[in-house]
């Protein structure tokens, strides 16, 4: 698995989580910064998914490919779903939703790296 | 204003429950499809947990107060009962479910979530 793109995804998602938390604490709805940020995160997640699919197609990867692709698929869905909910909820709770989304992407990428390395 | 449980903080709850539906549902699907005979009890409970999370996501989304309360009750009972059983009799749970050891694998969020949910729904009388 490409660790550079995974590092980018983890760092970006944690930064966006922090930014969303600040926005929520300041009692503001999701703004343009978070909207663009999560769009960029989605692109990074898609690039990562491409690397995973390419590596698996090239014969690499863990025995448990079903779980791996479960995480890949889940990750691709989360940023758009989070933004969709945050657009519907124009309050601090919309930003709170993005805190959850950012955290989920970071954790899921970490789990993917573990699965790839053959860990539990 | 029955729809009020689905806005504000309720919408954040929907996001969390949606995420857990995805996590628990995907985990249960993988477990049941690939190795159901290894731990039928644990994997059946995984599926039950997933079903409860999905029902709660829908109930909160639709503002269905009664369904939400029933689901939250089952969720709280489930995490307490299965959490306790998995600690007392680990042999019966050879593989993880979302509710094993009170949701330890999910930083205990499954234990906190029904309490937060019940507080949120009960705060809205009517």
**Averaged pLDDT of chain A:** 94
Q: Given B11, B19, B29, which is nearest A88 (Cβ)?
A: B11
CA distances from A99 to B6, B19, B57 (A): 18, 12, 18
Global pTM reads 0.91
Average pLDDT for B40-58: 93
Q: Is A78 in Cβ contact with B19 (below 8 Å)? A: yes
**Distance (Å, whole) CA B58 – CA B73:** 16
ipTM of the complex: 0.89
More confident residue, B105 or B94: B105
pLDDT at res. A118: 79
- Complete DSSP assignment for chain A: --HHHHHHHHHHHHHHHHHHHHHHHTT----HHHHHHHHHHHHHHHHHHHHHHHHHHTT-S-S-HHHHHHHHHHHHHHHHHHHHHHHH--SHHHHHHHHHHHHHHHHHHHHHHHHHHT--
pLDDT at res. B1: 46
| Interface residues from chain B to A (CB-CB < 8 Å) | 7-9, 11-12, 14-16, 18-19, 22-23, 26-27, 29-30, 33-34
A100 CA: distance to closest CA in chain B (Å): 7
CA distances from B114 to A11, A22, A57, B72, B99 (A): 30, 26, 41, 5, 12
- A 10 A CB-CB count for A51 gives 15
Q: Is B12 in Cβ contact with A97 (below 8 Å)? A: yes
Measured N-to-C along each axis, helices B109-123 and B9-35 cross at an angle, to the nearest 10 degrees, of 140
Q: B14-45 burial, b if ≥16 CB within 10 A, otherwise e?
A: bbbbbbbbbbbbbbbbbbeeeeeeebeebbeb
Closest C-alpha to A98, from A117, A85, A111: A85
Q: In chain A, what residues touch B18 (CB-CB under 8 Å)?
A: 81
CA distances from B43 to A59, A66, B32, B76, B94 (A): 30, 16, 6, 19, 10
For residue B3, pLDDT beyond 60: no
Note which residues in 60-99 of chain A have CB less than 8 A from chain B.
66-67, 70, 74, 77-78, 81-82, 85, 88-89, 91, 93-94, 96-97
pLDDT digit string (tens) for A10-32? 999 999 999 999 999 999 999 99
**CB within 8 Å of B33: residues ≥ 6 apart:** A66
pLDDT digit string (tens) for B12-42? 999 999 999 999 999 899 889 888 888 888 8
pLDDT digit string (tens) for A70-79? 999 999 999 9
**Averaged pLDDT of chain B:** 90
CA distances from A46 to A5, A43, A76, A101 (A): 10, 5, 6, 15
pLDDT at res. A2: 84
More confident residue, B35 or B10: B10
CA of residue A59 relative to chain centroid, distance: 25
Out of A55-69, B48-62, B89-103, the most confident range is B48-62
For residue B118, pLDDT beyond 90: yes
Q: Is A100 in Cβ contact with B19 (below 8 Å)? A: yes
């Amino acid at each position: 698995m490409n660790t550079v793109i995974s590092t980018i995804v983890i760092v970006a998602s944690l930064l966006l989580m922090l930014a969303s938390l600040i926005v929520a604490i300041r009692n503001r709805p999701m703004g343009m910064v978070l909207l663009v940020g999560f769009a960029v995160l989605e692109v990074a997640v898609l690039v990562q998914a491409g690397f995973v699919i390419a590596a698996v197609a090239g014969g690499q990867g863990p025995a448990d490919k079903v779980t791996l692709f479960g995480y890949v698929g889940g990750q691709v869905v989360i940023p758009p779903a989070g933004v969709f909910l945050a657009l519907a909820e124009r309050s601090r709770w919309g930003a709170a939703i993005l805190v959850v989304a950012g955290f989920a992407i970071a954790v899921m990428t970490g789990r993917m790296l573990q699965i790839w390395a053959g860990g539990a | 204003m029955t729809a009020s449980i689905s806005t504000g903080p309720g919408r954040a709850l929907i996001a969390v429950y949606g995420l857990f539906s995805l996590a628990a549902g995907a985990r249960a699907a993988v477990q049941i499809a690939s190795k159901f005979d290894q731990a039928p009890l644990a994997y059946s409970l995984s599926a039950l947990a997933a079903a409860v999370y999905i029902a709660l996501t829908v109930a909160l989304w639709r503002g269905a107060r009664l369904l939400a309360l029933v689901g939250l009750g089952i969720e709280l009972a489930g995490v307490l009962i299965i959490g306790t059983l998995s600690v007392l009799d680990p042999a019966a749970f050879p593989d993880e479910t979302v509710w094993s050891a009170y949701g330890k694998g999910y930083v205990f969020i499954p234990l906190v979530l029904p309490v937060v949910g019940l507080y949120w729904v009960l705060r809205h009388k009517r």
